[in-house]
Amino acid sequence: MHKRSLWVGLLLILPIMLLSACWTPKAAAFSQEERLFSQAWRIVSQSYVDDTFNHQNWWSLRQKTLKKRLPNREATYTAIETMLGSLGDPFTRLLRPEQYHSLQISTSGELSGVGLQIAIDVETGQLEVITPIAQSPADLAGIRPRDHILEIDGMLTRDMTLDEAAARMRGPIGTTVTLKIQSQKEQPKLVEIVRDRISLNPVYSVLDTQDNRDPVGYIRLSQFSANAPMEVAHAVAKLKEMGADGYILDLRNNPGGLLQAGIEIARLWLDQGTIVYTVNRQGTIGSFEAYGDALTEDPLVVLVNQGSASASEILAGALQDNGRAKLVGEKTFGKGLIQSLFELIDGSGLAVTVAKYETPNHRDINKLGIEPDLEVPLEAITMSQVGTEADSQYQEAIKLLTSDTFLAKAS
């Protein structure tokens, strides 16, 4: 199923790239609107993963658009969105200045809004939840992964783009938004949510010493922000000092984030081996490798579910294919495409799909996801029950981590 995803408040997928415009004398005669459109066209022409551009003449599309009048900025944005829409790729999109600014703010570790990552199923047009941010207003309101958002303040989401839906759910702290939510096999219900500032501290860790067994270090990673590798490293060091003999890395409901953060966290657990392959439009395969000493050689189990996406899948795939960890939980989301962000001359931006990725064993997980080694369905639990006796996936991970067979293989 083809999906696209975006943080409400926006979340950066790859480091921002600034493409400098190379103007020719002829280009100098263009209007400001024509220059903006031409810059967007050129970025896609040079960077987009599919060099057939969805089997269309990309130059001809540019010429046809520039023959039309672009009287104002809104008309130019519409022309860019129409051009991008012709690619049939929901991940390649225009970010207007306010959206681009929100994205930049989100990388600092805070969001303002309801705290949802959302997706649009392009086959059905339904807006769905990938995951709520832990302890966000949406999470506390009981919204869960795979819930459908039918309306936002009375407006049908079927008529909205992904960015429009995200923009309608953002807003000043303390204001209210009403969502019409339909959970699986349940009747739709109205949920009123008060927007708030959401702290994106990505790591929670604790030493589990219950049941008279060897202590287990539990690390929950909620997103791959710029500071995530450092925070995970600190958590491992602290738990190791406290006596942890094994680790559980919880990537459930982690929708991804910075690709580089996922790579650096993989290097914390791997001495050597490929972490991920990237494939560009020429079919050229690049790779990121592990090097140096891992922080620990102790056994590791990774928890995943349907809300584990993008960088979570890169990390989980790297640890699984290299035999470093076992995966427990549910099949992951299935987003195997890489976007780069380019800034345009007016302060807006383009998110452009530039490559796809494959796991170390050359698995393409886009739309397919990663299968866990041990499949364990998760019953609905509250955030306070995660990592407790009520958390069936966590309990199965504990059993696996402390079993004699697993410990023998790990050693």
Q: Rg of the Cα trace of the chain?
A: 22
Chain length of the chain: 411
Which contacts qualify for 230-233: CB closer than 8 Å, 24 or more apart? 231/201, 231/202, 231/203, 232/203, 232/265, 232/268, 233/268, 233/295
Between the two ends of the chain, the Cα-to-Cα distance in Å is 39
Name residue 343's beta-bridge partners. Answer: 18, 349
The residue among 227, 210, 232, 208 whose CA lies nearest residue 218 is 208
Can 238 be counted among the known catalytic residues? no
Can 310 be counted among the known catalytic residues? yes
| Number of Cβ atoms within 10 Å of the Cβ of 253 | 29
Can 50 be counted among the known catalytic residues? no
Where b means 16+ CB within 10 Å and e means fewer, 291-301 reads eeebebebbbb
Where b means 16+ CB within 10 Å and e means fewer, 88-99 reads ebbbbbbbbeeb
| 310, 312, 340, 348: the active-site residue | 310
Expressed in percent and rounded to 5, the helix, strand and coil fractions of the chain are: 30, 25, 40
- Beta strand extents in 145-291 (DSSP E only): 148-152, 155-156, 176-182, 189-194, 196-199, 203-208, 216-221, 246-250, 273-279, 285-290
What is the SS3 assignment for 46? helix
φ, ψ for residue 105, nearest 5 deg = -65, -40
Where b means 16+ CB within 10 Å and e means fewer, 338-373 reads bbbbbbbebebbbbbbbbbbbbbeebebeeebbebe
| Number of Cβ atoms within 10 Å of the Cβ of 153 | 11
Contact by Cβ (8 Å): 33, 70: yes
φ, ψ for residue 407, nearest 5 deg = -65, -40
| 335, 340, 348, 391: the active-site residue | 335
List the catalytic residues. Answer: 310, 321, 335
